Amino acid sequence: MFTVKQLSKLAGITPRTLHHYDDIGLLKPSRVGNNGYRYYGEDAVLRLQQILFYRELDIPLDDIKKIMGRRDYDVMGALQSHKEALSKQAARINRLIQTVDNTINHLKGSKTMSDDKFFEGFSEEEQEKYALEAEQMYDPETVRESNRKWKAYSAAKKEAIIAESKAIYQDMIAVIPKGAASPQAQAVVERWRKHMNYFWTPNLEQLQALANGYVEDARFKANFDKMHPKLAEFMRAAVKAYVEDKK
C-alpha cells in the first residue's frame, strides 16, 4: 500500500493531484484509514498509470473518467492503444529533432535546407492544437466553435490553410532584417491576422496576447525557434507595432 505522499512521488505528480482525482471520482484510494489517510494498492496504482497515459495524450479528465468508467473497459486493449499512440508521437518527435538538427546545420552554413524541410514533422493535428490552445486563455465556447469550424473544412482546405501558415512564417523570417515596424513586416502581420480567421477572429488585445504567447509559452517558443531563433521575438515586436498603429 502507498500513501498519498509515496504514490505522488512515485508517479511524479503532486499530492494535490491525487486529492483532486479522488474528489472527482476518477481515482479512489483502495482504502481510507481511521486517521483519514488515503492508501493505494496495486489496482489503484495501475489505474493511475492509465490515467497518466491518457493525460500524456492530452485527453481531458472528464473524457478519461467516461472511458475508464465503461463496463467494457479493457486494460490490455487500452495499453495496446497507448503504445500505438505513443509510438506515433515518438516518431513525430524524432522527425522534429531531425528538423532541429538540420536547421542548426543550415544556420551554421554546413547544410542547405529547402523551404519545406523547415516544417518537416509539423502535422495538421499540431497546427490545430496550437491554435486552440492559444484560444483557451479566453472563452471555452470560442475553443469549441473554432474546433467545429476546423473540422468542417475539407481535407484539401485544411492542407491549403496549413500551407498558407507555413508561407506566412517563411515570409516573416525573410523580412527579419527589415525590422519589425517595416512596411514589409507589417504586411506579413496583416496576412497573419487574416489567416487567424480560419480558426477565430481575435481583437487587437487578443492578437497581441497571442503574439506574446509565442515568446512566453515554452511550447510555442520552442516551435518557433525550430523555424528561426529570432522568429518568436520578431513576431511579438511586429504585432506590437501593428496593434499600436491600429489603435
Q: What pLDDT, on the 0 to 100 scale, is given for residue 202?
A: 81
68 shares a domain with 128:
no
- The domain that holds 128 is classified in CATH as 1.10.490.50
| 216 domain-assigned | yes
| 136 domain-assigned | yes
150 shares a domain with 39:
no
| 225 domain-assigned | yes
Last residue of a domain, one of 11, 45, 73: 73
List phi, psi (to 5°) of 201: -120, 95
52 shares a domain with 129:
no
Res. 5 pLDDT band, cuts 50 70 90: very high
Q: What pLDDT, on the 0 to 100 scale, is given for residue 158?
A: 82
Determine the 3-state secondary structure of 121 from DSSP: coil
**Alpha-carbon radius of gyration of the chain:** 22
136 shares a domain with 241:
yes
Q: What pLDDT, on the 0 to 100 scale, is given for residue 137?
A: 47
| 51 domain-assigned | yes
63 shares a domain with 128:
no
- The domain that holds 34 is classified in CATH as 1.10.1660.10
Average pLDDT of the chain? 81
222 shares a domain with 142:
yes
| 100 domain-assigned | no
Across the range 8-22, mean pLDDT stands at 92
Q: Which residues contact 5 (CB under 8 A, 6 or more apart)?
A: 15
166 shares a domain with 230:
yes
34 shares a domain with 138:
no
Res. 185 pLDDT band, cuts 50 70 90: very high
131 shares a domain with 66:
no
Q: Tell me which residue of 51, 80, 75, 49 sits closest to 63, measured CA to CA.
A: 51
> 32 has which bridge partners?
38
| 175 domain-assigned | yes
126 shares a domain with 69:
no
Range of the domain at 150: 122-246
C-alpha–C-alpha distance, residues 242 and 210, integer Å = 13
225 shares a domain with 136:
yes
Across the range 116-144, mean pLDDT stands at 52
CB 234 within 8 A of CB 168: no
> 3 has which bridge partners?
39
**Least confident among 27-41, 62-76, 77-91:** 77-91
Q: Identify the helix (H) or strand (E) that includes residue 71.
A: none
Number of compact structural domains in the chain: 2
- Higher per-residue pLDDT: 52 or 247: 52
Q: What pLDDT, on the 0 to 100 scale, is given for residue 139?
A: 53
242 shares a domain with 127:
yes
Res. 236 pLDDT band, cuts 50 70 90: very high
- Confidence (pTM): 0.48
| 89 domain-assigned | no
Q: Is the pLDDT of residue 116 over 60?
A: no
Q: Which residues contact 69 (CB under 8 A, 6 or more apart)?
A: none
Instruction: Calculate the CA 116 to chain-centre distance.
Output: 21
Q: What pLDDT, on the 0 to 100 scale, is given for residue 134?
A: 47
| 228 domain-assigned | yes
